[in-house]
């Protein structure tokens, strides 16, 4: 698999290398050893979530407070979606920067979202299913929601008609309001190494 940096420090896009024959194809969706070589710290799955959505559904921007913090490994297992990660780490040199990728079941492309970085997506087909592999379990009251239509972020969702959104997302604060309320993690909190480091090495 190929792991590439994005404009958001610590966020990566992962593209698998499929092996195809007359039966179909096979690819490795997640290799924690490769991911750890790229990020420099362990990624230990603690919970796996799925959500299914109709076309033109907008979910996000979502994150988790630190503590407990939560990294995500996101893939599309059915359908297609436009995925966006946003740097929400106050004091980050790229605060407010975003990276966008199209994920679909056929390519197996994935996005790694580090702690302190927000995530959202717009579905491009009906019955789109997304999978989240999470580094921490759900803890009530620690979720962070940022309005995905915040004019200050100006995220390029690309929809041509009003998207379907939850009331929670539609009424969530903008990034400036969330920062002023102390809801967002600092750059120092987010990048502090709370795990045993692993050596960075070239991927095979």
Copy the structure tokens of residue 28.
């490795």
Instruction: Let me know: does 187 contact 89? Beta carbons within 8 Å.
Output: yes
Is 62 one of the annotated active-site residues of the chain?
A: yes
Report the b/e string of 163-182 with b at 16+ CB within 10 A: bebeeebeebbebeebbeee
Q: Catalytic pick from 62, 98, 101, 119?
A: 62
Is 112 one of the annotated active-site residues of the chain?
A: no
Copy the structure tokens of residue 76.
């599309």
Local structure of residue 57 (DSSP, 8 states): B
**Length, in residues, of the chain:** 204
For residue 177, the surrounding DSSP H or E stretch is helix 175-180
Q: Catalytic pick from 12, 98, 112, 132?
A: 132
CA dihedral 176, 179, 185, 191 (to 10 degrees): 50
Cα–Cα distance, 12 to 88 (Å, whole number): 16
Could you tell me the sign of the dihedral formed by the alpha carbons of 131, 120, 146, 134, in that order? positive
Work out the number of other CB atoms within 10 angstroms of the CB of residue 49: 12
Among all residues, which ones are annotated catalytic?
A: 62, 132
């Amino acid at each position: 698999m190929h792991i590439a940096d994005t404009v958001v420090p610590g966020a990566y896009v992962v593209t698998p290398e499929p092996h195809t024959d007359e039966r179909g194809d096979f690819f490795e969706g997640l290799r924690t050893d490769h991911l750890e070589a790229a990020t420099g710290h362990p990624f230990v799955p603690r919970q796996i979530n799925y959500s299914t959505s109709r076309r033109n559904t907008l979910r996000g921007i979502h994150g988790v407070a630190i503590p407990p913090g939560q990294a995500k490994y996101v893939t599309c297992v059915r359908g297609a979606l436009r995925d966006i990660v946003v740097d929400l780490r106050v004091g980050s040199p790229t605060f407010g920067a975003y990276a966008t990728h199209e994920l679909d079941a056929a390519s197996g492309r994935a996005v790694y979202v580090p702690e302190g970085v927000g995530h959202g997506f717009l579905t491009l087909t009906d019955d789109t299913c997304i999978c989240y592999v999470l580094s921490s379990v759900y803890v009530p009251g620690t979720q962070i929601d940022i309005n995905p239509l915040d004019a200050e972020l100006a995220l390029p969702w690309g929809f041509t008609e009003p998207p379907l959104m939850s009331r929670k997302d539609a009424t969530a604060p903008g990034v400036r309001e969330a920062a002023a309320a102390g809801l967002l993690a600092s750059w120092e909190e987010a990048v502090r190494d709370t795990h045993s480091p692993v050596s960075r090495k070239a991927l095979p």
